[in-house]
């Protein structure tokens, strides 16, 4: 098979770059264009130049041509191989159409196209108050950054990467395998450039040819007021460095709110439990209630029952979506004393008598007797 003819038609070497091939094509097509060149055979030479350029300007076709000649570039598998088990015609346009039918017709990704870097995650703890009011946090983490020595090229300063000599910049190689069904063709990553399409003759001493170096990165994170555990903040461009001049990835900061010793929270509502005595519940009182906004006075009306919930309007957390401020709910619990002195016991006896809680049946213990027995056991 002749896999140099197309290069000869354009007057370039097999190692020619795409720019060199394009310049040669323009020159040769102009030279033999039928409207310009009226010599015998000029039209055929013009067609030959078109055919050569159509193959060599396509990295995938060029790689196939370099290995298998014109037959390979046109989708065949060489003489005697019988094509793709007889499919090099009827309904398929050769290997490339078969390949496209499996992979969506997108062809091979350009290995030299800019690609965005990877995203990163960072978990951060917030106090209860920081989550309510918002905060600004300085965080530090390791990430892959563009090499400062070679500016991401991977090549030693003063040098530049060159087109891969094996895949000619495509980043892939075509491999044939004999199977019981015939010759099967597959594409693999080039083992010289590892898919980049470029060779680095003299690697950068800092990044060793990768174009990236590990660095400690510091960034300030603004935490909005009203966040909750599990929510995340996206910081654009704070992830890892891109490839071939592509942008940095993003950083996702995942929030974890630490519990409070005083409060509980659900959304914008904050909950607080208040223990009061029997006397406060019976007679009423005015007490100081702690909130995240500072202490506030709250009135407990006489006759308050345990489990009663009071609402302190606007003393909760900010509403993250929709604006406004939540409330604080105060749940009252009446605490029964566990130890009483003599004066307290006598006072309770007097209260029971004043309440008319006397025994109506001598053989049965009334409320007073039960209270007395209970107090004696304390």
Give average pLDDT by consecutive 10-residue segment, the chain, 378 residues: 80 89 87 80 86 86 78 47 36 38 47 86 96 96 94 91 87 80 80 85 91 95 95 95 90 96 95 95 96 96 96 94 90 91 87 71 56 61
Whether the CB-CB separation of 155 and 162 falls below 8 Å is answered with no
Determine the pLDDT at residue 126. 97
For residues 214 and 228, give the distance between their C-alpha atoms in angstroms, rounded to a whole number: 32
Tell me whether residue 339 is exposed, middle or buried, using C-beta atoms within 10 angstroms of its C-beta: 0 to 12, 13 to 18, 19 or more. exposed
Torsion angle of C-alpha atoms 270, 287, 285, 342, degrees rounded to 10? 110
Determine the pLDDT at residue 304. 95
Tell me whether residue 230 is exposed, middle or buried, using C-beta atoms within 10 angstroms of its C-beta: 0 to 12, 13 to 18, 19 or more. exposed
Q: Which two tokens stand for residue 32?
A: 């033999």
- Give the torsion sign (CA, 123, 127, 133, 136): negative
For residues 327 and 322, give the distance between their C-alpha atoms in angstroms, rounded to a whole number: 15
Helix (H/G/I), strand (E/B), else coil: 260: coil
Cα separation values, 127 from 23, 137, 229, 233, 311, Å: 65, 12, 11, 17, 24
For residues 7 and 55, give the distance between their C-alpha atoms in angstroms, rounded to a whole number: 10
Name the one residue in this structure whose structure tokens are 């070497």.
13
Q: Which two tokens stand for residue 126?
A: 């917030």
Whether the CB-CB separation of 43 and 31 falls below 8 Å is answered with no
For residues 21 and 53, give the distance between their C-alpha atoms in angstroms, rounded to a whole number: 8
Q: Where are the alpha helices (DSSP H) in 33-139?
A: 42-56, 59-73, 95-103, 128-133
pTM exceeds 0.85: no
DSSP per position, 364-378: S--HHHHHHHHHHH-
Q: How far is C-alpha 130 from the geometric centre of its chain's CA atoms?
A: 24
Determine the pLDDT at residue 369. 66
Q: Which two tokens stand for residue 45?
A: 């030479």
- Give the torsion sign (CA, 48, 51, 57, 61): negative
């Amino acid at each position: 098979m002749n896999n140099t003819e197309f290069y000869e038609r354009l007057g370039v070497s097999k190692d020619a770059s795409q720019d060199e091939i394009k310049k040669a094509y323009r020159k040769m097509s102009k030279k033999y264009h039928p409207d310009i060149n009226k010599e015998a055979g000029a039209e055929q030479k013009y067609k030959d130049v078109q055919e050569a350029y159509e193959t060599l300007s396509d990295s995938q076709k060029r790689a196939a041509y370099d290995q298998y000649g014109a037959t390979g570039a046109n989708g065949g598998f060489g003489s005697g191989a019988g094509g793709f088990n007889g499919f090099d015609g009827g309904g398929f346009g050769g290997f490339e159409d078969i390949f496209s039918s499996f992979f969506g017709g997108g062809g091979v990704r350009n290995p030299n196209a800019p690609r965005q870097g990877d995203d990163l995650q960072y978990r951060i703890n917030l106090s209860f108050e920081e989550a309510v009011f918002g905060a600004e946090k300085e965080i530090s983490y390791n990430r892959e950054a563009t090499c400062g020595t070679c500016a991401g090229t991977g090549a030693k300063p003063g040098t530049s990467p060159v087109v891969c000599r094996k895949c000619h910049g495509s980043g892939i190689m075509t491999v044939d395998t004999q199977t019981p069904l015939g010759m099967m063709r597959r594409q693999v990553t080039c083992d010289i450039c590892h898919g980049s399409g470029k060779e680095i003759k003299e690697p950068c001493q800092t990044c060793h040819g990768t174009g990236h170096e590990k660095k400690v990165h510091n960034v300030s994170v603004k935490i909005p007021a009203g966040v909750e555990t599990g929510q995340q903040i996206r910081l654009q461009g704070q992830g890892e460095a891109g490839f071939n001049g592509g942008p940095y990835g993003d950083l996702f900061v995942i929030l974890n709110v630490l519990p409070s010793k005083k409060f509980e929270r659900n959304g914008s509502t904050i909950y607080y439990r208040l223990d009061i005595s029997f006397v406060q519940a019976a007679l009423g009182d005015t007490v100081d209630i702690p909130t995240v906004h500072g202490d506030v006075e709250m009135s407990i009306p006489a006759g308050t029952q345990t489990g009663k919930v009071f609402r302190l309007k606007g003393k909760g957390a900010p509403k993250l979506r929709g604006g406004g401020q939540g409330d604080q709910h105060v749940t009252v619990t009446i605490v029964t004393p566990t130890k009483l002195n003599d004066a307290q016991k006598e006072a309770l006896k007097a209260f029971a008598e004043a309440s008319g809680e006397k025994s109506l049946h001598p053989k049965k213990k009334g409320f007073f007797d039960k209270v007395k027995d209970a107090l004696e056991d304390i």
